[in-house]
Structure 1
Amino acid sequence: MATVAGTMRAVVLDAPGPPEALRVRRIPMPEPGPGRVRIKVEAFGLNRSELHTRLGLAEGVTFPRVPGIEAVGVVDTDPDGLLEPGQQVAALMGGMGRVFDGGYAEYTVVPRTQIVPFRSALPWDVLGALPETLQTAYGSLTTGLDLHAGQALLIRGGTSALGLAAAALAKDQGATVLATTRDPARLDFLAAHGVDHPLLDDGKVADQVRAVFPDGVDGALELVGTPTLPDTLAATRVHGTVCFTGMLSNQWIVKDFYPVSYLPSGVRLTAYAGDAADLPAPVLQRCLDRVATGDLTLGPIHVYALDEIADAHRDLEKGHHVGKLVVRTTADSSP
């Protein structure tokens, strides 16, 4: 739907609440100042971060707020004239959807530092699924784990959009991938996605890992949270690394943390929480090009209309789908 007299449609969250608290309204068009760019949003992905905002678990959020830590679209206005109108861009992080209004809208204004330009003929729903997931997966494997070809990687929470992307990037890099799911019906899906060793998460994954790699894996990506972290650490070899990146369980605090008893001897624990700068434009462009040729597959995509945002958040919270949930702001999927 087109804007009307300087207004736009956006999803507004007045205060934490159930999915129905996300309401589509017509609000004033945001105006960019120096150093900021207005983007016509074509699609945006849904993330656990926005679920935490809606549930009142995120820190530093003020209301009312347009959520959304990422979006893809085209440059609408750049007051500084550094980006041409129509340039395809991804915008992510940097306070989007938390300290200023984010991507759940027809237009968003973001600092230029949070923008990554690209060119692609992929449909907007596919493009909308990639920026934040790709940035987090790439950063976790590089900065967080320093993963190398020939190493073994465990992904705890393998059927999440982030887990699937990390598996694809790790396989592309030449690693052996083990990934977990709590649903037996999803083991075959993980295998079809290229996971070498799909594992049923019964709470004791370390025993299963060491049945395959007696010394433990070289690296582990923790996407579930603190409830499974001790078992993930136990699955990792001496001098191996566990990177804490995700909180699918909505639990991220280790109570009464005593390192000597909590951490296995010699196992390293790191964390990753990146920014747009951690997704260099050449890295994004290469991944988009490989997705376009079919050489890289990051997992299924489930698409919603803007007016279906409550349904999309309900599905996100309940884990109804494997893969990434994406909202299109218009009906046309062409780039």
Structure 2
Amino acid sequence: MRAGAAALFGAGAAKILEVAPGAIDWAGFGTHACVGVAAASRAVRRPVVLYSPGMYNERTLDTTAVEELASHGYVVVTVDPVHEAHAVGFPDGRVIGPAPGLGAIKAVADRSRAALEVRVADIPFVLDQLAVLARGGNPDAGNRPLPRGLGEALDLARTGMFGHSLGGMTTAEAMRVDRRIRARVNLDGPLGYDWADPELLLPVARTGLDRPFLQMGAWLDVPSGRLPHPSPSWRAMWRNSTAWKRDLWTEAAEHNSFTDYQTLLPGLAERLTLPQGLPSRMTGTVGPGAVHREPTGLPHRLLRPASTRPPPAAPVRPLTAPPGRAVHRLRRRAGTHHAARAADSPRHPGSLLSGSPRCVRRRNAAGCDPP
């Protein structure tokens, strides 16, 4: 995160984490990414994955998943929601915060609708500019030089997208309106303007999709307690879609488990005095490795070379043998990351939380309505 944006973001984060302003240097976090580095000089084009963050969040708040995908050879394009996010830093030093008009919209459903319309309109524009880049042009508004070889690395015939919360909603609606997106992952995002109101479904939940998708999330807090996703929008999406699909949720997660808070909070808790129970309230008890395994594994199975056949339509294989020859799993050895393969089998079903006793629902047979 650029220094100017980090200062503005940090002021809001300090309130959420209940720490003193300036206690955390958000611009100082180390990553495995560098600015302006040339693309790998291999004569091969790489699949492209777009990312959309949660409402008011910056594109940098899921750097863990973005870097993991990039480490497997994907070109990851993160999209900042300008005039909505807490802070968006531009190359010329400008920092843009949320538009006052957005916060003035009192009804949550109406505010989400307004933000979503802008975001969904942004995605075709981004894809158009990537097409310019792939043809050898420079779409940068200031005509600044871009990393060498970047355009030649893009395989736009293999484009997917993932997003968290409102970004998950954006991903679903963008896939509905733009067929260039071949697969998507929705991380704990409703598919309606309200989790519980069946009259406020997104258009994509009513029409469904004919391309593969994964939906995953935490349990919902409802007046009667905590339940696996009873969301009418997720049920409608499942019922109306015809291609490969999977729906996962876990009691061990919370809404922010699908962001970098999952990996940052343990370290912050060691160095700062955070409110009692705050980390578990924000990110639950699920481990960071488990949360990021399935979203980063799905593109391996769905964004295959254009010369191969796409994942099968309904019916698909049973849960114990999901599409794809293998599932990439991440292991830590001697402080480094190694991609290991686990063959499809009852022991390795290829789901996010295989082996976790708290994963209570997995669905991957198209046409099977949720209970």
Same fold (TM over 0.5): no
The structure where helix makes up a greater share of residues is 2
Bigger relative contact order (CA 8 A; separation at least 6): 1
TM-score of the two chains, using structure 1 as the length reference: 0.29
TM-score of the two chains, using structure 2 as the length reference: 0.27
The structure where strand makes up a greater share of residues is 1
